[in-house]
Structure 1
Amino acid sequence: MQSLDALVQDARALADGALAIPLSAPETEVARQMQICNACRYCEGFCAVFPAMTRRLEFGKADIHFLANLCHNCGACLHACQYAPPHAFAVNVPQAMAQVRGQTYADYAWPPALGALYQRNGLTLALALVAGLTLFLLLAVVQQGQGLAALWGQNLGGNFYRLFPHNLLVGLFAPVFLFATLALALGVRRFWRDISPATSGAPLSGPAAAEATDAVLRLKYLDGGHGEGCHDADDAYTLWRRRFHHLTFYGFALCFAATSVATLYHYAFGWAAPYDLPSLPKLLGAVGGTALALGTAGLWHLNHRRHPQHGDAAQKPMDRAFIALLFLTSTSGLALWLARGTPALALLLCLHLGAVMALFATLPYGKFAHGVFRTAALLRHAVEKRQPSPIGLGDD
């Protein structure tokens, strides 16, 4: 007959899924490193990962998925760690967490069969998708205009809806956007359901939601935990990664707001596009497009300069694909606006629409997912820290 201690250990193992679902190699490595970090605790004040870590003595699959998506890969703990490579312990938390994050995106993908797209969604595929969609649209313009002359010099009066009517564009883009939204929502719903029992199980509250929202909007944990910034190429702190992320995040948000306001104008007020300054859609789009172009250009530069021990090298093609698609979307949109009265309108319109459609099509299976999963992890962290620690330690 089993002893009481053995029964308790079995129950605890079942609770965190250790017996039901074995850990993968990347997850096992995170668990190993967290045990070392939990004994050291030098980095406890660096970011949300380490206070959350101190509330645990063991690390099951759900705990590891939660901590991995809570990590912002700022690099501060790597450069502060006395056990980092070439030490025999080889503690590299940013790299280990990044490898698990990539695994969680694929594991929680919907439909599950498409999870493998995370490994294939690289820069070459993204650019090929843009080129293919652009070519398809160019051929449609040629066929509609009955010849190559339709691509250059048409007198459209600056109105690209004469090439592609509004309802046609809605019919093309709405299904892709709705599918991407549904796929991301269902994936993060499963993630939330799995990590909730491992993060106290308490429901989301108003104060917790407000704290997490603040952390998301300020990119709080991209400051290295002390306000001096992240690490990129060396041990020096820099705030440029946080600044370029801000430009990218808010640039994308403003562009989305511009599209949303234009949709409201069209359907609620009957105000037909195109719009020009000082209209609100154009103002939001111009500012957002400029910020997005600057932010992605900066992130591209930093991505190529980052320390090789930061993050997961296998995910760099996916990272760069997302950056490239955002940059192409923003710059082609700005060029389309500036050249709307020139013969290049048709060519630029096809390029812009091809970039936007490629971005939408890859949203559920590319780097965009990291923002969605990280937001969910920050929400659960804000909930968990308000509950008593299950081991009597680590209360914030």
Structure 2
Amino acid sequence: MSVASVSLLFSVFALAVSGIKFWRESGRKDKRLRPTAILHALRDIITLQNLGGGGRICSDHDKSFSMLRRRFHHAMAYGFLLCFLATCTATVYAHFFDQPAPYPLFSLPALFGTIGGTGLIIGTSGLIWVKIISDPAPAVARLMNTDFALLGLLWLAAMTGLLLLAMRATPAMGVLLALHLGTILALFLLLPYSKFVHGLYRGLALLRAAADRSQLDPKNSSP
């Protein structure tokens, strides 16, 4: 656990440094953020409002795949969030309520993990499929391997987590636990150097855009 904690803290620190640098170089002179601007940005982030491709073909063979990419992206993002909530609730159960794992199937950690893991598998599988069938011309070839590595690790983390939940009372639990924790460790180490950081930059860019709109037209800044 200590190795995983150090790895996670390193990833969080690297992402925070990168995010602060991005924000400082974004060109905003007014550092104050109105609450309405924050709410606008949260709405845009949660709904993935700007992930529609503008109604045009992006890097797919035809328009029919554009909405699939968006839906798979939703499944992956919300699945990741629910898995993170599963980890947080399990930590609260263990350290504040003295209830160590494993947890009942209908407990919050198990429910969040099951739904989130399923969403991650659907989302990452779909995005891998879309990448394979997409037109490679608009893509940056040198980044494709890291994209597949991140999606593969997310898929493997979700699959091993669900298998661990399903087979926790069997002799295979030890092997599955080692595989799951090893995957999570690799994922933590890869996060600051993968396409995962685009989520951070996108969120900060949406926050800046909402703040600019609020500053230009404060009367119409309600979400």
Do Structure 1 and Structure 2 share a fold, with TM-score over 0.5?
Answer: yes
Q: TM-score, normalised by structure 1?
A: 0.52
- 1:173 is aligned to 4
- 1:93 is aligned to none
Give the match's secondary structure for 1:272: coil
RMSD value, Cα:
1.8
Q: TM-score, normalised by structure 2?
A: 0.90
Superposed displacement of residue 174, structure 1: 1.1
Is 1:373 aligned with 2:185?
no
- 1:361 is aligned to 189
- 1:193 is aligned to 24
Q: Could you say which structure has the larger radius of gyration?
A: 1
The code of the aligned residue for 1:174 comes to S
- 1:268 is aligned to 96
- 1:203 is aligned to 32
Give the match's secondary structure for 1:192: helix
The code of the aligned residue for 1:210 comes to L
Where does the alignment leave 5 or more consecutive residues of structure 2 unmatched? Answer: 218-223
Is 1:224 aligned with 2:50?
no
Superposed displacement of residue 201, structure 1: 3.6
The code of the aligned residue for 1:359 comes to L
- Check the 8 A contact 1:230/1:241 in 2, yes or no: no
Aligned pair count reads: 216
Taking the aligned partners of 2:57 and 2:38, their CA distance within structure 1 comes to: 25
The code of the aligned residue for 1:195 comes to S
Superposed displacement of residue 232, structure 1: 4.1
What are the residue-to-residue correspondences of 1:95-134 with 2, within 5 Å?
none
The code of the aligned residue for 2:61 comes to D
The code of the aligned residue for 1:377 comes to A
Q: Which has the higher helix share?
A: 2
- 1:234 is aligned to 61
- 1:66 is aligned to none
- 1:212 is aligned to 41
Out of 284, 299, 311, the residue aligned to residue 139 of structure 2 is 311
Offset from partner CA, 1:344-391 (integer Å, 9 cap, x none): 2222111111100000111111111110111111111111233449xx
Offset from partner CA, 1:229-287 (integer Å, 9 cap, x none): 86442242431001101110010100110110010011111112110211111111111
Where does the alignment leave 5 or more consecutive residues of structure 1 unmatched? Answer: 1-168, 390-396
- 1:248 is aligned to 76
The code of the aligned residue for 1:218 comes to T
Taking the aligned partners of 2:48 and 2:126, their CA distance within structure 1 comes to: 16
Taking the aligned partners of 1:367 and 1:308, their CA distance within structure 2 comes to: 17
- 1:335 is aligned to 163
Is 1:344 aligned with 2:175?
no
